[in-house]
């Protein structure tokens, strides 16, 4: 749980950039491919990541520039990336402008429970990490290269080894 705005903003910067990195490896032609019986395509899963920003933050009464998950999925990955970028930036700006460390201790009703706003922000980040991980599995299954986030991916590691052998 966050008790300090600066700590959240530092983590959010890294994690939102990581989400953009994963999104940047998506290809338009792979967005609607269904993998086995998995219930979401890469397009649906990436749009869920975008839309959940506005959904989760709405409980805090903070308004950010972010589409709803019910809005239509953009026609291409470039549009999705731009919408996510704008939403992530808006979240940073609105928190910086409207909240201080004491705000993180305020309790809100969230999913039938009482959560501190600092816990909500932790959950927001973990939610994105969880779905990014799902995306990387689906990306491999549809033949896309996967980027490393917390270290090199399998593909990046292979390139590192190849380069060191030359």
* Predicted model pTM: 0.93
The pLDDT-based confidence of 11 (bands split at 50, 70, 90) is: very high
CB 90 within 8 Å of CB 66:
yes
Q: Cβ atoms within 10 A of the Cβ of 68, count?
A: 12
Q: What is the pLDDT of residue 166?
A: 67
CB 24 within 8 Å of CB 136:
no
Nearest to 103 by CA among 5, 30, 7: 5
Q: What is the pLDDT of residues 127-143, one digit of tens each?
A: 999 999 999 999 999 99
Does domain 5-165 sit in CATH 1.20.120.450?
yes
Distance, CA of 146 to CA of 162 (rounded, Å): 17
Q: What is the pLDDT of residue 157?
A: 87
Q: Cβ atoms within 10 A of the Cβ of 48, count?
A: 18
Percent of the chain with pLDDT over 70: 99
Residue bearing tokens 């869920």: 48
Q: What is the pLDDT of residues 32-90, one digit of tens each?
A: 988 877 788 999 999 999 999 999 999 999 999 999 989 999 989 999 999 999 999 99
Q: What is the pLDDT of residues 77-117, one digit of tens each?
A: 999 999 999 999 999 999 999 999 999 999 999 999 999 99
For residue 115, what are the β-bridge partners?
108
Q: What is the pLDDT of residue 94?
A: 98
């Amino acid at each position: 749980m966050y008790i300090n705005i600066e700590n959240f903003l530092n983590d959010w910067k890294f994690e939102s950039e990581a989400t953009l990195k994963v999104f940047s490896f998506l290809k338009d032609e792979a967005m609607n491919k269904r993998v086995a019986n998995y219930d979401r395509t890469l397009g649906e899963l990436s749009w869920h990541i975008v839309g959940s920003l506005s959904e989760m933050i709405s409980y805090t009464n903070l308004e950010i520039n972010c589409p709803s998950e019910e809005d239509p999925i953009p026609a291409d990955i470039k549009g999705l990336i731009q919408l996510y970028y704008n939403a992530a930036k808006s979240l940073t700006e609105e928190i910086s402008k409207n909240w201080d460390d004491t705000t993180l201790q305020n309790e809100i009703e969230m999913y039938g429970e009482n959560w501190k706003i600092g816990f909500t922000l932790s959950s927001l980040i973990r939610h994105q990490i969880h779905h990014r991980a799902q995306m990387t599995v689906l990306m491999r299954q549809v033949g896309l290269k996967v980027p490393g986030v917390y270290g090199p991916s399998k593909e990046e590691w292979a390139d590192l080894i190849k380069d060191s052998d030359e």
